[in-house]
Amino acid sequence: MDAADEKRGRLVELTQDECWEQIRSRPVGRVAWIGTEGVSVLPVNFLVDGREVVMRTTPYSALARECPDREVVFEVDDLDEEHRAGWSVLLRGRCRREERTSSGVTPWASGRRILGLRIEVRSVTGRRVLPT
């Protein structure tokens, strides 16, 4: 084993329950989709509702125009650079418009984020790097 290997942590798969527990601990995730400009990735504030993800956006955003009724990917992670540790969870599912405005979600950015979006999750995977 060389010196670089000694600093690498051990990679472990997370269970679905662990994945949901982890994403509930963070206020920001990234939603990715294929739209008119190709692949787009956008950080968003979100909440977990059961086994679905809810978020709010402006009705005129690319997210609002391109994501409803389409497959999206949602990623949440947490990294500890000092200890070279962290976790990452990836959700795949269909995005739908919300009838209500997902009032529990508090966006960090200003503006009228009145359109609620919901990701109906069909697949959950996650991994954790444990420090050495």
Q: Is residue 81 part of a domain?
A: no
Residue 101's pLDDT is what? 61
Residue 103's pLDDT is what? 64
Q: Is residue 29 part of a domain?
A: yes
Q: Is residue 2 part of a domain?
A: no
Q: What is the CATH number of the domain that holds 47?
A: 2.30.110.10
Residue 27's pLDDT is what? 93
High-pLDDT (> 90) share of the chain, %: 69
Could you tell me the pLDDT band of residue 98, with boundaries at 50, 70 and 90? confident
End-to-end CA distance of the chain: 14
Q: Is residue 80 part of a domain?
A: no
Structurally, the chain folds into a number of domains equal to: 1
Look over the chain and give the mean of its residue pLDDT values, rounded to a whole number.
89
Higher confidence at residue 17 or residue 102?
17
Residue 71's pLDDT is what? 97
Average pLDDT rounded to a whole number, residues 89-109: 81
Q: Is residue 4 part of a domain?
A: no
Q: Is residue 3 part of a domain?
A: no
pLDDT in tens, 10-64: 899 999 999 999 999 999 999 999 999 999 999 999 999 999 999 999 888 999 9
Q: Is residue 32 part of a domain?
A: yes
* Nearest residue to 67 (alpha-carbon basis) of 89, 109, 45, 39: 39
Expressed as residue numbers, the domain containing 25 is 9-74+89-130
Q: Is residue 79 part of a domain?
A: no
Q: 6: phi > 0 → left, psi -120 to 50 → alpha, else beta; which?
A: alpha
Phi, psi of 108 (to 5 degrees): -75, -35
Could you tell me the pLDDT band of residue 100, with boundaries at 50, 70 and 90? low
What is the distance, to the nearest Å, from the Cα of residue 53 to the centroid of all Cα atoms in its chain? Answer: 8
Q: How far apart are CA 40 and CA 18, in angstroms?
A: 27
